[in-house]
Structure 1
C-alpha cells in the first residue's frame, strides 16, 4: 500500500514538472511494477506450438513479428525500422550456402580421396560459389594471435598458402571474456585471412567442446547463412574473406594420416610447444556452394527521451528459434521458450515500464527484436552495420538472450560488463536488489560472443548481457543443477516449452534488474565508456 501511494504521488509530482530522474528509492519502487503474468503471457504466445519454432522466412515467424508490433503500438513505441520511421520492419536478405557434395572433393597427396561426412566436410561459402585449391597441411593450435596476453600460435609459423588446421575453442590461459572473442570462428578466420592462408580446417580435440558428426549433420543440412549488407557484401558466420575455403577434419582422420602423431602434437601444444607432422601432407580440392535466399526482418521501435533525445540506449532480444526439427519423443516443434521467448518477453516488459514512466528519461530508448540470431547473429549484424540512427548516437546495448529463468534470482553473471563503466551501474543495481555478482561459471561456453551483444561490441558500443548465476538462498551452487538441466535437456530441443522449468519470481527480479540497469545507463549524464585497459576498447569508432 505504501508503495502504491508513493508511486501515485510520484506520478502527480512529475506530471506537473520538467523531466525528473528517479532516485534509487523511487527507481526500486517503480521497477517493482514488473508484471509476472505479462512475462508469462508473452512466453506462452511466442513459444506456442502454433508458431512452429519461429523460423525466419516462415509465415509463423511473420506472426511472431506482428505480435511484437502490436505490443509496440499498445505502448506508444514509434516505428524505427528505417531512418524515416515509416515502418517497424528493418528488412534484410539472408543467403544460405550449402555444399554441393557430389560436385566437391578433397584429395590427399593427389591420390587418396578423403571421405566427406566421416573424415572431413566443407562449409558453404556465401560469397564465392566455386573454389579450387592446393596447399600443405600445417597445425596452428587454437589459431589465436593475442600477444597482448602473451599468447601467439603463429610465432615462427608460416601459414601463407597452407591448409591450416586449428582446434575449436580457446585456451584457459586467456581471461574468460577475451577467450570468448578469440575462440570465435570469425576471429580465427580473419586472422588466417590476413596471414594469407589458403584455407582453414577446424577440428574437435578428444576433450574439446562439440563433435565432428553433430557439426557435420547441422552444417550439411542447414548450411551456412549470411546476411547481405547494404554494400552487397555477405557477412555473418564463417565469412572466409581472403581464404579460399573452410571446413572440418575429424580427429580420428587426422590420427590416421599422421600415424597417430596428432596426439603427441596436442600434448606438445598443451606443454607450450607447437610441432608439426613429420611427413608432408598436401591437400587438393574443390568446394562448390549452392544458394537459397529468404527475406526476414528486425522489428525496431523507439520511445523518445527528453534533453538528450538524440542519444540512444538500444535494447535487443532475438525472436527467432530453429523451427521444425528432428523428432524427440514424437515432438518435432522446437518451441524456444527459454531460447528466446523469455528474452523477448523480458524486453517487452522493460519497454512497458519505459512507456509508463511518469517522466521521460534523458535519452531515447530503441527496442529491437532481432531475427536470425540462431543462424549466426545476423539480425544484430545487420542492425549494427546499418544503424537506423547515427552510429555514434548509440551509447549502449542491453541484451536479453535466454536469461535462464530457472529459480529465484540470487546471483547474476553480467557478461561483458567488467569491460566498461557499465559495471559500476550493475554494482549499484544489484546492491539495491540484494543480489551478488559472480564471474561467468561457464567460460568454456564462450557465451559473451554467442549472442547479439557481440555485434554491438564489435561496433564499439559497450554492451551488457545478464545471466542468472548459480547461487540460491541456501547454497553457493543451488541453481547449478537446474541450469545444467536447461542446457543439457531443454536447450535447442522440442522440450524447451513453457512449463515447470520456469520460475517467474526469478523472472520478475531479472526484469527489474535489467530495467534499472538500462534506466541508469539512460539517465547518467556521462555516456558509458570502455575501461582503458579493456581489450574491446580497440573497436571504438
Structure 2
C-alpha cells in the first residue's frame, strides 16, 4: 500500500529500471523491417479522410460516423485483419440513449417552515434519468466530503456515516497524498455514484467549490448505453434505480447548506486535502422531482483480429484501441460548425491502422492474438469502450492488456513520453523496453490535475480488471528547453474540441510514425511475453 501513497514511486521505478529492461529487446530482421513500413504520408492520408468535412465531425449514429466505420473496415480488410465483432462481423452494436430533462424541481428545507428559494439552471441542475421517466424523491441530506471509500488507502468519507435512504452531497476532489491516477479514478463521476449506491444513498448532489463556475448546460441531452434487454449498461450519470437522483448545486447554495450546519469551506477543504474526512449530517432535507424523455441512437464499435502463432496463447488478446467518434456539428466558431477531430482522434485511428500494417508485414505473428478495437462514444464519456470492456466479442478472461491511442498530439518531434496507467501493472516493463528501443525517455505525468488517465478509453478496461495504458507526449524538446507542455497548452487553446482541429492545423507526421511504432512495440512485447500482465501487489485496481 505504500506505493499508492507516494505519487512518483512507480514512475521512479520505471525510470530507474528502463536501461535494464531495454537489454532484453531483440527483434528479428523481419520485425525491424515491418516497423519501417509505417508511412507518415499514409498517416496524413488517413487523418485527411477521417477529418474531412464530408464526415461532418463523426458524431455517433450519424451518416458521417458510418462513413468512418466503412473506411476503417475497408482499411483493415486490406491489411489482412479478420473480423472479430458480433456474429462474425466487423461490428458491435452500441445502443446509445440520449436523455433529456423535462420538468425538474429541487427544493431544500431546514424544517417544514423554511424552504430555500432556488432557481433551476442558476443554482442547480438535475440530470435526466435514463430508465425512469418520472422520479420523485424526498430525503434528508448528508455531506460526505469527496465521496471516497477506500479503506485500503487509509481514507473513507463514509466511515461512521449512515447514509441509507439519504441524499449525499459531495464535492469533487481527492486527498493530496493520493497518486494522480488514483485521484482521477476515485473522483470519477461513475465511481462516485457506485460508492454512494453501495452505501445505500438514494441520490447524489455534486457541490461546486468555485464561486465563479457556471452550472452545466445539459440541453443537448445526456448519453448512456442500453443493453439488448433495455437496461442501462454504461452511464456517467446513473448507477441504479435505487440511486434515482443525480444533480449539482452551485457554490452559494452549497455554502448556505454548510452554514446551516455551522460549518464552512475554509475549514473543510484543507482538512479533506490533508487526508482527513469531514463528513456530517446536514440540517436540511431535499425534495426533487423530474421527468425525462429519450432518443435512442444506434452506433458501432469496429473490431478486428490478427491471430497469434502460439497454439495456446493465441486464445489470449492484446488490444490496440482508439476512438473513432468526435463531436459532430456544434456551435460555430469563426464561422465553422464542423468539429472535424483531426487530432482528436483521427490521428489515433491512423496510428492503429499503421500498427495493423506492421502486423501485415510480420511473417511470424506474435504468440498472442491482437484485437484492433475502434470505438464509438468516447467523447460522450468513454461509452463505447466501456461497453466493449463489459461485453467483449471474445471471452472476457482472454483479454490481457489494452494499449490505447487517443489524440497523441503529433505537433512536435516525439522525444519523451508519459505512460498513463503503466505504473499500476507489469506493463511498465514493456513501456520501458519499447521506449528505450526508440531512444525515448519516460516521464511522470506532466499534467496530473488534468486527470487524463480516466478521460480516455484505457480507463474502461482498467475498470474491468484489464491492465491498460495510454501513451502521451513528454516534456522534452529539441532545443533543450523541455517545455513542450507550454506549446501544447497554446495549441490546445486554439484547436482542442474546436472546428479548427482539421487537417490544416499543426502536424508532425514523423512524430505520428514514432507513436505508432512505439505503441506497436509495447503491444508486441506483451503479446510475446510468456506470462500475461499483472497488477502490482496491493494496487487499487488489482481487485477489479
Q: Give the aligned partner of residue 454 of structure 1.
A: 459
Deviates more, 1:125-134 or 1:22-31: 22-31
1:167 shift after superposition: 1.3
Task: Please state whether the residue corresponding to 1:222 is helix, strand or coil.
Answer: coil
1:172 shift after superposition: 2.3
Deviates more, 1:144-153 or 1:155-164: 155-164
Give yes or no for contact 2:175–2:272 (8 Å, CA) kept in 1.
Answer: no
Give yes or no for contact 2:176–2:274 (8 Å, CA) kept in 1.
Answer: no
Q: How big is each residue's C-alpha offset from its partner over 1:91-149, in whole Å with a ceiling of 9 and x where there is no partner?
A: 1211111111xx22111226344211100011121122221111223222211112222
1:298 shift after superposition: 0.6
Equivalent position to 2:201, from 197, 201, 208: 197
Give yes or no for contact 2:155–2:275 (8 Å, CA) kept in 1.
Answer: no
Q: Give the aligned partner of residue 93 of structure 1.
A: 95
**Structure 1 residues 133 and 42: alpha-carbon distance in aligned structure 2, compared to 1, 3 A threshold:** same
- TM-score normalized with structure 2 length: 0.89
Give yes or no for contact 1:311–1:363 (8 Å, CA) kept in 2.
Answer: yes
1:78 shift after superposition: 1.4
1:278 shift after superposition: 9.8
1:45 shift after superposition: 0.6
**Structure 1 residues 502 and 47: alpha-carbon distance in aligned structure 2, compared to 1, 3 A threshold:** same
**Structure 1 residues 418 and 222: alpha-carbon distance in aligned structure 2, compared to 1, 3 A threshold:** same
Partners of 2:318 and 2:271 in 1: how far apart? 47
Alignment of 1:343 with 2:345, yes or no, is no
Q: Superposed, which structure 2 residues align to 1:19-418 within 5 Å?
A: 23-24=26-27, 26=29, 27-82=31-86, 84-85=87-88, 87-100=89-102, 103-109=103-109, 111-206=115-210, 211-213=213-215, 216-217=216-217, 220-234=218-232, 235-241=234-240, 242-256=242-256, 258-259=258-259, 262-264=264-266, 265-270=268-273, 280-307=283-310, 308-418=313-423
Partners of 2:342 and 2:493 in 1: how far apart? 15
Partners of 1:330 and 1:348 in 2: how far apart? 32
1:392 shift after superposition: 1.3
Give yes or no for contact 1:75–1:352 (8 Å, CA) kept in 2.
Answer: yes
1:323 shift after superposition: 0.8
Q: How big is each residue's C-alpha offset from its partner over 1:185-232, in whole Å with a ceiling of 9 and x where there is no partner?
A: 01111111111112111123228xx9433xx21xx2232211112454
Equivalent position to 1:425, from 417, 430, 437: 430
1:309 shift after superposition: 2.2
**Structure 1 residues 522 and 270: alpha-carbon distance in aligned structure 2, compared to 1, 3 A threshold:** closer
1:397 shift after superposition: 1.0
Q: Superposed, which structure 2 residues align to 1:470-481 within 5 Å?
A: 470-475=475-480, 477-481=482-486
Partners of 1:256 and 1:118 in 2: how far apart? 15
Give yes or no for contact 1:123–1:223 (8 Å, CA) kept in 2.
Answer: no
1:23 shift after superposition: 2.9
Partners of 1:502 and 1:197 in 2: how far apart? 48
Give yes or no for contact 1:164–1:200 (8 Å, CA) kept in 2.
Answer: yes
Give yes or no for contact 2:157–2:279 (8 Å, CA) kept in 1.
Answer: no
Partners of 1:56 and 1:161 in 2: how far apart? 37
Task: Please state whether the residue corresponding to 1:538 is helix, strand or coil.
Answer: coil
Task: Please state whether the residue corresponding to 1:405 is helix, strand or coil.
Answer: coil
Task: Please state whether the residue corresponding to 1:24 is helix, strand or coil.
Answer: coil
Task: Please state whether the residue corresponding to 1:483 is helix, strand or coil.
Answer: helix
Partners of 1:455 and 1:382 in 2: how far apart? 8
Give yes or no for contact 2:155–2:277 (8 Å, CA) kept in 1.
Answer: no
Partners of 1:277 and 1:358 in 2: how far apart? 64
Deviates more, 1:428-437 or 1:266-275: 266-275
Partners of 1:281 and 1:273 in 2: how far apart? 24
In structure 2, list runs of 5 or more residues that go unmatched: 1-23
Partners of 2:364 and 2:419 in 1: how far apart? 28
Q: Give the aligned partner of residue 5 of structure 1.
A: none
1:22 shift after superposition: 9.1
Give yes or no for contact 1:229–1:385 (8 Å, CA) kept in 2.
Answer: no
Partners of 2:314 and 2:510 in 1: how far apart? 33
Deviates more, 1:387-396 or 1:269-278: 269-278
Q: Give the aligned partner of residue 506 of structure 1.
A: 511
In the comparison of the two structures, how many residue pairs are matched?
509
Partners of 1:252 and 1:499 in 2: how far apart? 44
1:341 shift after superposition: 0.7
**Structure 1 residues 523 and 275: alpha-carbon distance in aligned structure 2, compared to 1, 3 A threshold:** closer
Give yes or no for contact 1:167–1:203 (8 Å, CA) kept in 2.
Answer: yes
**Structure 1 residues 42 and 262: alpha-carbon distance in aligned structure 2, compared to 1, 3 A threshold:** farther
1:269 shift after superposition: 3.8
Q: Give the aligned partner of residue 17 of structure 1.
A: none
Task: Please state whether the residue corresponding to 2:435 is helix, strand or coil.
Answer: helix
Q: Superposed, which structure 2 residues align to 1:486-525 within 5 Å?
A: 486-525=491-530
**Structure 1 residues 170 and 318: alpha-carbon distance in aligned structure 2, compared to 1, 3 A threshold:** same
